[in-house]
């Protein structure tokens, strides 16, 4: 009997313990889900293959190619959910899991910069150390690389020995920068800093260069094409050159005025041209035209005139001829063609007594060269009713001779190609015309002719008639054979005052 009582007591204790244990066990419904998405901070681009885990630990999953992830069968409770990916900072978010529900977690991960290295210190390459520039424009160039190929941002600091100015050019994204307002005769000091988005800036050494004092006595002007833009140069008789306009602008047709001691020229912006003036050293550039601008069938084939003693600049605009003061004031309509033909080239006599014009149609042909009084009265016709192109026009200082170039082949084409352009001189006194293109090489063109100041020579451009070869500036002595002399290579549109 006593044994039976002991057995019953033990059975009761076992049943009590069993019931107690069942009360602490989690039922099959006490689970939830953690899901979410992993993106890059800033761009919200999804990140793939990010390792997602919880603390306390449940299981580990990886994000898919859309950045999505899901951890299922997570016991209810409080968790810290972590996201880890090589190259990114580990990120943690809290999550409370409740029964039969999904909690959403979004991770925005940052790129780890702990091992990111800065760019290399910029190495200055141009201008060379202690180089003397023959221009008021400088193209700075340097080299720098980033070990992780991160984008590099540069800052250029520029000083000179003439004043206390410190010029800072910031947020430069390429290892080159052009500056077009250097001081003549100054010595410059420049330094470049480079930085990526993760590291402090690194500095280059300090570079030094000088700008030559402008040779303001240069009497020759010409144009040279550099990287698709026309650039104006001055030069002396020994061939020493000085760049006057920027390689970043298209500037051409220079015309120096002796009285004003300035140079007028054309500069294009897109499909429009304007007249500018500058000092003989290339400084103090001033825009002259505004509402009414130079225009014609081809902006490269129109010219302007600034007579030596005049305070007016003359320019064509389609079928009209205007003049304007160098300060942009006092614009006047001087002449309009009666037949709607376009004015392309002009010459003004030194005594402001007459004007010579070259007109043409929309294609540059059906040319006519003639002289008029300032009241519009036609004086004389030099050439008319012929086929072919003409270009280059000038009046002698004595106002007795006119030179122009004309393509005697009478060839006409859509690209305005000329085959045998020669220089002709018209004597106003007796009305005779003389071909002065002595010894012109076959297959070439003489273009852009201008009188020398003493009228004994003509300066002009010679180039192959293929339309693509290099152009060079020559001079020839009027009335003499075999006097062609090469002055400047890779040059055109000359002026000699």
State residue 118 phi and psi, 5-degree precision. Answer: -75, 165
pLDDT of 28? 56
d(CA 332, CA 294): 13
pLDDT band at 27 (very low <50, low <70, confident <90, very high): low
**Length in residues, the chain:** 497
Question: What's the chain's average pLDDT?
Answer: 90
By the 10 Å C-beta count (0-12 exposed, 13-18 middle, 19+ buried), 283 is classed as middle
pLDDT of 66? 95
pLDDT band at 22 (very low <50, low <70, confident <90, very high): very low
Q: What b/e string do you get for 285-312 counting C-beta neighbours within 10 Å, with b at 16 or more?
A: beebbeeebbbbbebebbbbbbbeebeb
Which of 21-35, 198-212, 213-227, 337-351 comes out lowest in average pLDDT? 21-35
Q: What is the pLDDT of residues 296-345, one digit of tens each?
A: 999 999 999 999 888 999 999 999 999 999 999 999 999 999 999 999 99
State residue 229 phi and psi, 5-degree precision. Answer: -110, 145
- Check pLDDT > 80 for residue 15: no
pLDDT of 18? 44
Higher pLDDT, 455 or 173: 173
d(CA 480, CA 339): 40
Looking at the chain, the whole-number percentage of residues with pLDDT higher than 70 is 93
pLDDT of 216? 65
Mean pLDDT over 236-265 rounds to: 90
Instruction: Give the chain's domains with CATH numbers.
Output: 31-109 (2.60.40.10), 123-211 (2.60.40.10), 240-496 (2.120.10.30)
pLDDT band at 185 (very low <50, low <70, confident <90, very high): confident
pLDDT of 5? 46
pLDDT of 425? 94
Which of 38-42, 236-240, 435-439 comes out lowest in average pLDDT? 236-240
Q: Which residues contact 127 (CB under 8 A, 6 or more apart)?
A: 133, 138, 139, 140, 207, 209
- Check pLDDT > 70 for residue 235: yes
pLDDT band at 10 (very low <50, low <70, confident <90, very high): very low
Mean pLDDT over 172-196 rounds to: 93
Mean pLDDT over 5-27 rounds to: 47
C-alpha distances (whole Å) from 262 to each of 276, 314, 316, 421, 458 are 10, 15, 20, 31, 22
pLDDT of 350? 78
pLDDT of 181? 85
- Check pLDDT > 90 for residue 490: yes
By the 10 Å C-beta count (0-12 exposed, 13-18 middle, 19+ buried), 71 is classed as buried
pLDDT band at 21 (very low <50, low <70, confident <90, very high): very low
C-alpha distances (whole Å) from 64 to each of 52, 57, 112, 122 are 11, 21, 21, 41
- Check pLDDT > 70 for residue 13: no
Which of 33-37, 46-50, 72-76, 477-481 comes out lowest in average pLDDT? 477-481
Q: Which helix (H) or strand (E) holds 359?
A: strand 355-360
Q: What is the pLDDT of residues 100-155, one digit of tens each?
A: 999 999 999 988 876 788 999 999 999 999 999 988 889 999 999 999 899 999 99
pLDDT band at 23 (very low <50, low <70, confident <90, very high): very low
Residues β-bridged to residue 153:
195
- Check pLDDT > 60 for residue 424: yes
The widest CA-to-CA distance across the chain, in whole angstroms, is 163
pLDDT band at 16 (very low <50, low <70, confident <90, very high): very low
Prior bond of 85 cis (ω within 30°): no
């Amino acid at each position: 009997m006593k044994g039976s009582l002991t057995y019953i007591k033990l059975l009761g204790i076992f049943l009590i313990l069993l019931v107690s244990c069942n009360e602490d066990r989690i039922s099959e419904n006490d689970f939830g889900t953690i899901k979410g998405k992993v993106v890059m901070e800033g761009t919200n681009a999804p990140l793939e293959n990010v390792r997602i885990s919880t603390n306390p630990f449940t299981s580990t999953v990886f994000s898919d190619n859309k950045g999505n992830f899901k951890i299922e069968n997570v016991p209810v409770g409080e968790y810290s959910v972590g996201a880890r990916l090589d190259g990114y900072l580990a990120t943690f978010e809290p999550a409370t899991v409740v029964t039969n529900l999904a909690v959403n977690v979004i991770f925005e991960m940052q790129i780890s910069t702990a091992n990111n290295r800065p760019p290399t210190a910029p190495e200055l390459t141009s201008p060379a150390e202690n180089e003397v520039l023959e221009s008021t424009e400088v193209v700075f160039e340097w080299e720098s690389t980033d070990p992780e190929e991160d984008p590099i941002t540069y800052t250029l600091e520029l000083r000179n020995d003439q004043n206390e100015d410190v010029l800072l050019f910031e947020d430069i994204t390429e290892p080159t920068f052009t500056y077009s307002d250097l001081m003549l005769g100054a010595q410059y000091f420049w330094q470049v800093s480079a930085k990526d988005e993760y590291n402090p800036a690194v500095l280059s050494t300090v570079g030094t260069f000088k700008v030559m004092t402008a040779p303001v006595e240069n009497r020759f002007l010409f144009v040279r094409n550099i990287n698709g833009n026309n650039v104006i140069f001055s030069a002396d008789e020994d061939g020493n050159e000085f760049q006057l306009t920027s390689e970043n602008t298209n500037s051409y047709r220079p015309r120096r005025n002796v009285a004003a001691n300035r140079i007028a020229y054309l500069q294009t912006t897109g499909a429009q041209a304007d007249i500018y003036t500058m000092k003989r050293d290339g400084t103090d550039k001033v825009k002259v035209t505004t509402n009414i601008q130079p225009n014609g069938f081809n902006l490269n084939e129109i010219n302007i005139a600034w007579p030596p003693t005049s305070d007016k600049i003359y320019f064509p605009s389609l079928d009209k001829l205007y003049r304007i003061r160098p300060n942009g004031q006092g614009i006047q309509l001087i002449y309009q063609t009666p037949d709607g033909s376009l004015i392309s080239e002009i010459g003004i006599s030194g005594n402001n007594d007459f004007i010579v014009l070259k007109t043409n149609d929309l294609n540059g042909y059906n040319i006519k060269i003639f002289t008029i009084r300032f009241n519009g009265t036609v004086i004389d016709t030099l050439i008319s009713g012929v086929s072919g192109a003409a270009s280059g026009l000038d009046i002698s200082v004595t106002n007795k001779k006119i030179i122009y170039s004309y393509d005697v082949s009478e060839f006409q084409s859509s690209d305005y190609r000329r085959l045998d352009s020669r220089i002709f001189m018209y004597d106003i006194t007796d009305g005779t015309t003389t071909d002065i293109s002595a010894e012109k090489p076959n297959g070439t063109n003489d273009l852009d002719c201008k009188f020398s100041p003493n009228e004994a020579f003509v300066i002009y451009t010679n180039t192959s008639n293929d339309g693509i070869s290099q152009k060079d500036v020559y001079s020839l002595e009027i009335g003499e054979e075999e006097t062609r002399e090469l002055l400047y290579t890779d040059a055109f549109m000359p002026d000699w005052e």
